[in-house]
């Protein structure tokens, strides 16, 4: 059933009042605080209709109403007004990124802090997925007669270093040659695209250096085998636990249990492929976050999606403001990432 304009106004008032107070909303409160031009009795009837339609819930017999997941969803999709960006400290977000950040991990840690502090919620960022990263270059640095440092750098700015064994007496010029052949074959490919055919060609051209090629192979296979669960960054756990919804010890304990599992958090965010996604309450598949909402966004380098960032808070979160903050932070983060590692 479609909502008429009065029901929409009543639902919007209830959602926004509950977001602000965390207290069930009654008809007299709506009549007093919002100029809807109708009596408390009329508002009460509209609230009863909205409850029957599934947009509102009544937690206690004598209490006011609170939004249901369906009510929040209708609010987010149809009623939520764009946030006034002047109310968001855009300058403080941008200034946090002005420093030349060369270490991507430092950049990610800065991002979760900025997200958490700007929203007063829990912030989560997934580090870039190695499988989507493109090989930028490989380089070898001789250290001892039988060892060298192998450095792999990707277009996402991620660098992996590994100490490798080299044939006794290998000269620096030979290592340079190996690096040139590898770069000619692999540069520009994603780690997922590196094929067995390419490796057979390398093995043939670099037959004398088979052990080095095998060690490069092992490194790339190890990186692509990672699903990213080890690269989950969080900040602001205390923000969500201080919300009234989590005064219930059992709810808090269940949520904390999830936050200790990087693998679970990774899979909670990974399927979200849209630039911006909002999951409300039971729309989240994991029971631990059924009392939460999640606003997430992909971040990019160029046209490629390389990871996701998200804000988690109670279902009555200030959706308009948090969506705006997530969009601003994602934009600044992606641009800074592109400038520093692109």
- Tens digit of each residue's pLDDT (9 = 90 or more) over 26-65: 999 999 999 899 999 999 999 999 999 999 998 876 678 9
pLDDT at residue 100, as a whole number: 45
* CB neighbours of residue 9 within 10 Å: 20
CATH number attached to the domain at 5-79: 1.10.10.10
pLDDT at residue 321, as a whole number: 93
* CB neighbours of residue 23 within 10 Å: 13
Q: Which of 10-19, 120-129, 137-146, 331-340 has the highest mean pLDDT?
A: 10-19
Per-residue pLDDT of 201-213, as tens digits, reads 677 778 888 888 8
Does the reported pTM lie above 0.85?
no
Per-residue pLDDT of 219-250, as tens digits, reads 877 777 665 555 788 999 988 888 888 888 88
pLDDT at residue 191, as a whole number: 72
Per-residue pLDDT of 79-90, as tens digits, reads 998 877 666 666
Distance CA 52, CA 37 (A): 23
pLDDT at residue 87, as a whole number: 63
Instruction: Give the HSE-up count for residue 229: Cα atoms under 13 Å, Cβ half-sphere.
Output: 12
Residue 338 in this model has a pLDDT that exceeds 60: yes
pLDDT band at 339 (very low <50, low <70, confident <90, very high): confident
Boundaries of every domain in the chain: 5-79, 85-129+229-341, 131-225
Torsions phi, psi of 70, nearest 5?
-65, -40
Distances 218 to 156, 209, 238, 337 between C-alpha atoms, Å: 20, 15, 40, 28
What fold, for 131-225?
Answer: Enolase-like; domain 1 (3.30.390)
pLDDT band at 259 (very low <50, low <70, confident <90, very high): confident
- Among 80-94, 230-244, 249-263, 322-336, name the one with the lowest average pLDDT: 80-94
pLDDT at residue 48, as a whole number: 94
What fold, for 85-129+229-341?
Answer: Beta-Lactamase (3.30.450)
Distance CA 263, CA 230 (A): 8
Residues in the chain: 342
Which one, of 340, 311, 342, lies nearest residue 102 by Cα? 340
Beta partners for 297? 276, 309
Average pLDDT score over the chain: 83
pLDDT band at 171 (very low <50, low <70, confident <90, very high): confident
């Amino acid at each position: 059933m479609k909502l008429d304009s009065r029901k929409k106004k009543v639902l919007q008032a209830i959602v926004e009042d509950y977001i602000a107070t965390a207290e069930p909303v009654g008809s007299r409160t709506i009549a007093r605080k919002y100029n809807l031009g109708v009596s408390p009795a009329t508002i009460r009837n509209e609230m009863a209709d909205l409850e029957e339609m599934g947009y509102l819930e009544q937690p206690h017999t004598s209490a006011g109403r609170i939004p249901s997941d369906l009510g929040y969803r209708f609010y987010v999709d149809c009623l939520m007004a764009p946030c006034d960006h002047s109310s968001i400290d855009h300058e403080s977000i941008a200034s946090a990124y002005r420093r030349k950040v060369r270490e991507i991990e430092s950049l990610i840690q800065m991002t979760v802090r900025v997200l958490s502090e700007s929203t007063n919620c829990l912030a989560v960022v997934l580090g870039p997925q190695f499988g989507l990263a493109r090989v930028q270059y490989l380089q070898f640095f001789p250290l001892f007669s039988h060892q060298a440092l192998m450095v792999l750098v990707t277009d996402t700015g991620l660098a992996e270093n590994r100490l490798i064994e080299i044939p006794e007496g290998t000269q620096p010029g030979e290592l340079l040659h190996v690096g040139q052949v590898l770069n000619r074959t692999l540069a520009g490919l994603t780690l997922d695209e590196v094929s067995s055919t390419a490796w057979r060609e390398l093995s043939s051209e670099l037959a004398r250096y088979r052990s080095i090629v095998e060690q490069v192979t092992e490194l790339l296979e190890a990186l692509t085998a990672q699903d990213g669960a080890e690269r989950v960054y969080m900040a602001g756990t205390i923000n969500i636990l201080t919300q009234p919804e989590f005064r219930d010890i059992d709810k808090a304990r269940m949520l904390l249990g999830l936050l200790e599992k990087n693998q679970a958090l990774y899979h909670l965010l990974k399927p979200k492929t849209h630039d911006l996604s909002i999951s409300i309450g039971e729309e989240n598949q994991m029971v631990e976050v059924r009392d939460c909402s999640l606003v997430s966004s992909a971040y990019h380098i160029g046209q490629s999606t390389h990871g996701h960032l998200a804000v988690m808070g109670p279902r009555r979160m200030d959706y308009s403001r948090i969506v705006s903050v997530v969009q601003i932070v994602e934009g600044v983060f992606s641009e800074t990432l592109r400038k520093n590692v692109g």
